[in-house]
Every structure is written in structure tokens, then in C-alpha cells.
Amino acid sequence: MRMLQRYQTKLVLRILIFLSGIYIYIFHTEWLEMIYSRELHRELLLLYALWLALVVGMLYQLIPNRSNSVTMGSVKYYSMNYFPANEPYRPGEMNRFIQLSNIGALKVLASWLLLVALIGILYFGKMIDRRMLFLITLFFYISDLICVVAWCPFQSWMMKNKCCVNCRIFNWDHAMMFSPFVFIPSFFTWSLLLLSLVIVVRWEYVWWKYPQRFWFRTNKVLQCKNCTEKMCRIKGPLLKDPAMHEHGIK
């Protein structure tokens, strides 16, 4: 429960940041133009602090750890968090798990790229400006934790993973939320986007090389009976693992 409470607190903080962004958009819209300039501005100290916090948070994801402040869904790919379950499974089940997980991930990737493409069309079509792109990014910033705490359309409609701890694409989050920045070349935007892509590349490399770290049948820490986080308490877990329907943990 403590982990869930931490993420609920993070969600509240992100909502406050988003509301602050709306306030700036309405009353200090010129600040949003200053973000993309090559000069530093005293008025943007809080935004610079947010940028620094995001960078530090992403760098922290690249360092192997067992922190109590980060869910196992994010750090399960480290070798230190892999505890072999030593439970028998039929030949082909691991390959089936990998196949279905990759199919779900590709669905998410395709749908997200379509969304980003739509945003790009609106931007280059002059229907939205880069100040609106900043607000869209802040909205994605909130949505990321809504998916973890309350409800995730990617889990329910595409991935079909049992819970966030078992999520195949958990560490795609920063790359997805910063994706609108691809249309705005500046140090602050592209630095966040590029660092988030480094996280995705490392995540995908470990998935390709050590898929057993991502499956509850082969990694004890991903099994419900060993879970201490209870991140699914509000939204509830999916009843069955898509790669092994007859062995779904209930």
C-alpha cells in the first residue's frame, strides 16, 4: 500500500503542475515562448527546476537499484531484481509469452505514433502552437500516473498484462510523454526526449536478452503472492496472463 500511496501523491503533484501550466498558458503565455529560447530567464526558475527533476529521475532509472520509492514494474529488468521462480512450464510457453507481449507492445507503439503524427499535423497546420504542445506534454505527464494508479487503456485494450508490475512497456513512459517535444528543437525539449529514448533502448535490450526477468512464471518478484506493493488495489488486476490463460494467477 505504501508504494500505491507514493504514486497517488506523485499524481497529485503532477496535477498541480498541470494546473500551474494552465495558469501560465492563460496569464503568462510569453513564458512558454521563453522555454524554447537559447537564453535563461529568471521567470522560469521553477520550470528549470522541473526539467532538472525530470532529468535526475530518468538518470536514476538507468542505475540498478531496489529503491522503495520506485515500483518493481520499473526496475524488474535489473539482474538484482530477478529471482528465478523454478516453476515448471511447458515447452513453448516462454516463446508464447514473448510473442504476445511483443504484439501488444507493437499495438501500443503504432497507436502512439499515430497520435503523435496527428499532433504534428495540427502543429504544422497552425491549428495548435508550441505553447499548446507544452500543455499537451503536461497532460501526458498526468496521464502516465493515471495509467498506473487508476486505469490504463494500453493494459486493458492492447497489452493485456495482469498488472503494472508485469507491464512489458513500463519504462516507455517518459518517451511517450515527451514525444510532442520532437516538433520543437531546443535544449530543454530534446534533452528530455533523447534521455527518455536512451531508457527505452536499454529496456528493450534487456527484454530481448533476458525476457525471463519480465514474466511472473520465471521471476518470483512479479507473482501476486510475493507482491508487497499492491499497485493494483484501485484498478484491480486483469484476471489472467495472456500467455498462459489456464494458469492465470487469481
* DSSP notation for 117-151: HHHHHHHHTTSS-HHHHHHHHHHHHHHHHHHHHT-
b (16+ CB within 10 A) / e for 204-226 = eebbeeebebbbbbbbebbbeee
Residue among 121, 141, 127, 106 at smallest CA distance from 18: 141
How far does Cα 18 stand from its chain's mean position? 17
End-to-end Cα separation, the chain, in angstroms: 19
Is 60 within 8 Å of 73 (Cβ atoms)? no
Residue among 197, 249, 170, 204 at smallest CA distance from 98: 204
Burial of 168 (0-12, 13-18, 19+ CB in 10 A): buried
Burial of 1 (0-12, 13-18, 19+ CB in 10 A): exposed
**For residues 34 and 48, which has the higher predicted lDDT (pLDDT)?**
48
Residue-level pLDDT at 70? 86
How many residues does this entry show for the chain? 250
Residue-level pLDDT at 1? 63
Residue-level pLDDT at 240? 54
Q: What is the pLDDT confidence band of residue 250, given thresholds at 50, 70 and 90? A: very low
3-class SS of residue 1 = coil
Q: What is the pLDDT confidence band of residue 249, given thresholds at 50, 70 and 90? A: very low
Helix and strand numbers, DSSP H then E, in the chain: 9, 0
Residue-level pLDDT at 90? 83
**For residues 165 and 239, which has the higher predicted lDDT (pLDDT)?**
165
**133-142 residue pLDDT tens:** 999 999 999 9
**146-157 residue pLDDT tens:** 999 999 999 999
Residue 2 has pLDDT above 90, yes or no: no
d(CA 58, CA 122): 29
Taking CA atoms, 232 is separated from 131, 146, 174, 190, in Å, by: 35, 12, 21, 33
Residue 98 has pLDDT above 50, yes or no: yes
Q: What is the mean pLDDT of residues 69-96?
A: 90
Mean pLDDT, the chain, as a whole number? Answer: 90
Residue 245 has pLDDT above 50, yes or no: no
The H or E element that residue 192 is part of is helix 187-209
Residue-level pLDDT at 247? 40
Q: What is the pLDDT confidence band of residue 67, given thresholds at 50, 70 and 90? A: low
Q: What is the pLDDT confidence band of residue 43, given thresholds at 50, 70 and 90? A: confident
**For residues 196 and 48, which has the higher predicted lDDT (pLDDT)?**
196
Residue 69 has pLDDT above 90, yes or no: no
Q: What percent of the chain has pLDDT over 70?
A: 94
